């Protein structure tokens, strides 16, 4: 499809959050562009092609050329999840373009993971780190901490997901506290019975982490800090940092409670 500056946000940025979009920045007068264009169109037209091809005429859409720092054409950029994840410049032969796509497009297992079908992804690609991480998260939410630990231990330590797995292990220690205290209902009853009982409130926060109620957990941990910043070696503050790591250190929820925590400290 031909895409203009006005259409780029919807047809490339937003669409790439569901399906990878390969963008060909070209111009009519560019001979190498006329060589590469048919190759890209051929690959995009193949059955079950895992990407959509978008063509941007740089003469008619100079703003896009400037935004993406196009200094030579043809320039090809692969968008996924709303951002550029790979690119090349020049008229590559078909074999090289296929190699580029094979290296940078999500595999069948990747697609299954994105759909939340972790078991199917592992059946195709045993040891897929994102699938193992997804199963670990699901196991934690189900209170199956031993199972979660097994999945985390199976993640390749050289993968990007290994660090995420370690963050989950830290959160699992909080979940275990909540589980040992009887779970959400029991912990809430204890905390409500004595609002000055910091330990009971901390246990409730940990139980809420186990049920994936991260806002509720952060509210309770914040109250622990409000009652006593130094309680149990600053356990409230440290627990909040662990939760931030799991929900996304720069997520809106983390930003909100980071500000609240900073005001208290």
Q: What is the pLDDT of residues 69-94, one digit of tens each?
A: 999 999 999 998 889 999 999 999 99
Catalytic residue numbers read 30, 33
Does pTM surpass 0.75? no
Strand partners, 2: 55
**What pLDDT is attached to residue 188?**
97
- Which CATH code, of 3.40.50.2300, 3.40.30.10, 3.30.450.40, 3.40.50.970, is assigned to 5-105? 3.40.30.10
pLDDT score at 20: 93
176-264 and 5-105 share a CATH fold:
no
The yes-or-no verdict on residue 50 having pLDDT over 90 is no
Query: What pLDDT, on a 0 to 100 scale, did the predictor assign at position 17?
Result: 86
Task: Round the average pLDDT of the chain to a whole number and report it.
Answer: 93
- Domain positions in the chain are 5-105, 109-159, 176-264
Measured CA distances, 54 to 11, 23, 83, 95, 152 (Å):
8, 5, 14, 20, 39
Alpha-carbon distance 260 to 265, whole Å?
Answer: 9
List, edge to edge, every strand of the sheet that includes 52-57: 52-57, 21-26, 75-80, 83-89
Give me the pLDDT at residue 246, please. Answer: 84
- CATH tag for 176-264 (out of 1.25.40, 3.40.1350, 1.20.1070, 1.20.120): 1.25.40
Whether pLDDT at 15 is above 90: yes
- The two tokens of residue 115 are 């759909």
């Amino acid at each position: 499809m031909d895409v203009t500056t006005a259409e780029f946000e919807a047809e490339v940025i937003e669409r790439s959050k569901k399906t990878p979009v390969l963008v060909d920045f070209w111009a009519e007068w560019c001979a190498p562009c006329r060589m590469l264009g048919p190759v890209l169109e051929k690959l995009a037209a193949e059955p079950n092609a895992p990407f959509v091809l978008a063509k941007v005429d740089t003469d008619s859409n100079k703003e896009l050329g400037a935004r993406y720092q196009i200094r030579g054409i043809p320039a090809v950029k692969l968008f996924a999840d709303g951002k550029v994840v790979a690119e090349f410049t020049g008229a590559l032969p078909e074999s090289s373009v296929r190699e580029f796509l094979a290296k940078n497009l999500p595999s069948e297992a990747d697609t299954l993971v994105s759909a939340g079908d972790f078991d199917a992804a592992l059946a195709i690609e045993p040891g897929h780190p994102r699938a193992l991480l997804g199963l670990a998260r699901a196991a934690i939410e189900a209170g199956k901490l031993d199972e979660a630990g097994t999945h985390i231990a199976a993640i390749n330590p050289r993968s990007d997901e290994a660090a995420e797995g370690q963050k989950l292990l830290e959160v699992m220690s909080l979940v275990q506290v909540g589980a040992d205290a009887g779970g959400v209902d029991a912990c809430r009853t204890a905390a409500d019975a004595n609002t000055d009982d910091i330990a009971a409130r901390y246990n409730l926060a940990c139980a809420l982490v186990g049920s994936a109620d991260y806002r509720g957990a952060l509210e309770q941990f914040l109250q622990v800090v409000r009652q006593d910043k130094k309680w149990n070696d600053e356990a409230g503050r440290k627990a909040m940092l662990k939760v931030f790591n799991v929900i996304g250190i720069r997520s809106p929820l983390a930003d909100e409670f980071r500000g609240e925590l900073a005001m208290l400290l």
